[in-house]
Amino acid sequence: MDNILPDSRTRERSKGRKGGKWHAGMWWVPVYCANCGVPYGYVPEQNCNFACWLCNKCQETHGEIAGTYQMPDEVFWKKVEEAQLEHYAQLLGPEELLRILEEGNSPLAKLMREKVSQHVPV
C-alpha cells in the first residue's frame, strides 16, 4: 500500500470558491492542518495541485510526516534573512527576491528553491 499524504487544501474550492479570496490577480484557496484542521493560510488555486501541512502542535504531538523533511517556517525565514544580510548587507524586497530566484544559483536562490521543493508539486 502506498503512503499518500492528505491534501490540506479546502475541499470547497470548486463550489464558488467558498472560503477562497482574490489577491494578486488570482484566486487563493485556504490550507488547513492535515490532522486537526486548524487554518494556516492560502495557496494559489491555479498553480497548486497539492498541499500538505501540519500545524506546529500536531507536528510536536505526532512527529514528522514519514519520508519528508521538515523545517519550521520561522527557521527557514531566519535563514533567508541571514543569507540576505550576509550577501547583500540588507533585507531585500519581493521584487529583488524574485529577480535573484530567477537569475540563478546564488546561495539565496538555492535556499529559496530548497524551500519551494519541499512543497512541490505546486
- pLDDT, tens only, 7-46: 888 876 554 454 566 666 777 888 899 899 999 888 888 7
CB-based contacts of 40, cutoff 8 Å, min separation 6 = 8, 30, 31, 32, 33, 53, 55
**pTM (global) more than 0.85:** no
Sign of CA dihedral 87, 88, 91, 95: negative
To the nearest whole number, what is the mean pLDDT of the chain?
A: 77
E-only strand ranges, the chain: 21-23, 26-32, 39-44
Where do the structural domains in the chain lie, given as residue ranges? 1-67, 73-117
Q: What's the CA gap between 6 and 54, in Å, rounded?
A: 10
35 secondary structure, DSSP code: T
Please tell me which residue, 111 or 71, carries the higher pLDDT value. Answer: 111
Q: What's the CA gap between 113 and 14, in Å, rounded?
A: 29
Q: What is the pLDDT of residue 122?
A: 35
The three cell numbers of residue 36 are 486537526
